[in-house]
Amino acid sequence: MTTVEPDSRRTVVDVQDLRVWYGTTRGAIRAVDGVSLSLRQGETMGLVGESGCGKSTLGRGLMGLLPAGAKRDGQVIFHDKDILAMDAKESYRLRGPQIGMIFQEPLTRLNPLMRVSQHFEETLRQHDPDISKEDCRKRALDMLRLMGIPPTRYRSYPHEFSGGMRQRLMIALALVLQPEFVVADEPTTSLDVLVEAQIVAILNDMRHRLNSALLLITHNLGIVAEVCDRVSVMYAGRIVEQGTVQDVFSDPQHPYTRELLRSTISLSTTGLNYIPGAPPDLIDPEPGCRFAPRCPNAMVVCSQRNPVPVPRDGGGRVECWLHGPDHLIPAGGTQPLQKEEIRAADEA
C-alpha cells in the first residue's frame, strides 16, 4: 500500500450548507440545518452529539438513503460532482464502488435466508454483472480474512455469527468494493468493550489500507479520541464546533462541547455529570442559539441572534457568541441571561 503524506491528501468529499428536513403533520422537521464539512483522503472525522441531534440523518443524507418524503438541499461535492444534483440511476452507481455505508444494526441489514457467500455475490454483481463466481469468492474471502473471519464461515448464515462477527461482516460488505468515502453509523452500538475495541482497530486499519475517508458517527468520545483525526460536534442539526481531536478535546471552546466532555465517564470519574434540559423542537426552533436554554454561559445575544461560525483557536471553527464576531454583538448583548429568562426559553 502506498502511504499518502498528510499535506498531499486530496479532498474526497466537500459538504456545503447541507439541509435535510422531514415532512410531518405539524410541519417540517429540520433535522440537518446548514452543515458544512470536508474530508480528505485517508482521514477519519468523528461526528458526535446527543441522540436526536441529526447525526444519522446527516450520514444518510450524504449517501442519498433518506426515506420517502424527506428533502435535502445544499451541495455534496464528490469528484467535482454534486451528489445531490445526480439522478437516481447515477447516484445508485456511485453507492458501493465509491461511497459506502456501515449500518449500526447488522441483523436489520442482513438477509437471514441468505448465506454470507450470497451476500457478497449480490453486492459484487450489482456493480459488476460479469464477475465470475470464483472472483467473487476470492474477493470476499480476502476481505473476510482482513476482518478476522475464517474462510470456513463463508457459507454460514447471519444468525450463526456473534454480534461482533456480524458487525465485522457488515464492514466487510461495505468495503469489499473499496469505496473512497465511507459513512460508519454507530458501528459499535450494543457491543461489549472488548469487541468494540476490535471493531475500532479494524476500521482504523482499513482506513490506512484503502486510504479511504471515513465519517465515524458515534456517541463514544473515547473512540473518537483513539482513531479520529478531526471531530465535528453536532447539536440540534448544526455543527457547533469542529477541529482536530487533540485541539477540541484539550481546549473545547463551545459550552456544549465542554459539557459533553464533562459527561464522559472514565476511570478517574468520581461523580456523574449531565446536561440539564433537552434539545429544542426542530419544527420551529426559537430564535438565537439553540443551546442557549441549556447553556451555563448564555448571554442576552444568545437568545436574540443565531451565532455565526468563527475561526477556532488552533484551527477549525466554532459557532458561539463567546468567541464573536464582536462587531455583530449588539450593545449589552454580552450580559448574562437571568435564570428566569433561561427557564422561560427552555419551557417555550
What are the grid coordinates assigned to 290, written together? Answer: 439553540
What are the grid coordinates assigned to 322, written together? Answer: 463567546
Tens of pLDDT, residues 171-211? 899 889 889 999 999 888 767 777 788 888 888 887 778 78
Q: Which of 93-102, 120-129, 237-246, 257-266 has the highest mean pLDDT?
A: 237-246
Provide the pLDDT for residue 8.
57
19-23, 188-192, 259-263, 318-322: range with lowest mean pLDDT: 188-192
Indicate whether 237 pLDDT > 80.
yes
**DSSP helix/strand/coil, 336:** strand
pLDDT band at 316 (very low <50, low <70, confident <90, very high): very high
Phi-psi group of 203: left, alpha or beta (phi > 0 → left; psi -120 to 50 → alpha; rest → beta): alpha
* pTM for this model (two decimals): 0.89
Find all residues with CB under 8 Å of 235, minimum gap 6, and list them: 49, 50, 53, 256, 279, 290, 291
> How far apart, in whole angstroms, are the C-alpha atoms of residue 23 and residue 249?
36
Residue 328 to residues 40, 72, 136, 302, Cα–Cα distance (Å): 33, 30, 59, 12
Tell me whether strands 99-102 and 181-185 are parallel, antiparallel or unpaired. parallel
SS3 sequence, 48-85? ECCCCCCHHHHHHHHHCCCCCCEEEEEEEEECCEEHHH
> How far apart, in whole angstroms, are the C-alpha atoms of residue 28 and residue 22?
5
Tens of pLDDT, residues 286-311? 889 999 999 999 999 998 889 999 99
Answer for the pair 170, 103: CB distance below 8 angstroms, yes or no.
Answer: yes
Sign of CA dihedral 247, 248, 253, 259: negative
Residue 18 to residues 230, 241, 285, Cα–Cα distance (Å): 19, 16, 18
What are the grid coordinates assigned to 135, written together? Answer: 472472483
Ordered by where they begin, the domains of the chain are 6-98+179-287 (3.40.50.300), 110-176 (no CATH)
Find all residues with CB under 8 Å of 157, minimum gap 6, and list them: 112, 113, 114, 115, 116
DSSP conformational letter for 233: E
β-pair partners for 286: none
